[in-house]
Chain A
Amino acid sequence: SQQGEEDPQALSIQEGENATMNCSYKTSINNLQWYRQNSGRGLVHLILIRSNEREKHSGRLRVTLDTSKKSSSLLITASRAADTASYFCATDTSLGGDKLIFGTGTRLQVFP
Chain B
Amino acid sequence: DGGITQSPKYLFRKEGQNVTLSCEQNLNHDAMYWYRQDPGQGLRLIYYSQIVNDFQKGDIAEGYSVSREKKESFPLTVTSAQKNPTAFYLCASTQGGFSNQPQHFGDGTRLSIL
- The reply to whether the CB of A43 lies closer than 8 angstroms to some CB of chain B is yes
Inter-chain contacts of B41 with A (CB < 8 A): 104-105
Q: Secondary structure of the A side of the interface?
A: loop
- The reply to whether the CB of B102 lies closer than 8 angstroms to some CB of chain A is yes
Taking a contact as CB atoms under 8 Å apart, the answer to whether B50 and A48 are in contact is: no
Inter-chain contacts of A35 with B (CB < 8 A): 103
- Tell me the smallest distance from the CB of A1 to a CB of chain B, in Å: 6
Inter-chain contacts of A4 with B (CB < 8 A): 42
Inter-chain contacts of A1 with B (CB < 8 A): 59
Taking a contact as CB atoms under 8 Å apart, the answer to whether B103 and A100 are in contact is: yes
A98 and B97 in contact, given A1-B59, A104-B42 (Cβ under 8 angstroms): yes
A42 and B108 in contact, given A1-B59, A2-B42, A105-B42 (Cβ under 8 angstroms): yes
Mind listing 16 A-B residue pairs with CB under 8 Å?
A: A2-B44, A4-B42, A30-B100, A40-B108, A42-B6, A42-B105, A42-B108, A43-B92, A48-B102, A88-B43, A90-B103, A99-B99, A100-B99, A100-B103, A102-B43, A105-B41
| Chain A residues near B (Cβ < 8 Å) | 1-2, 4, 30-31, 33, 35, 40-45, 48, 50, 88, 90, 92, 97-105
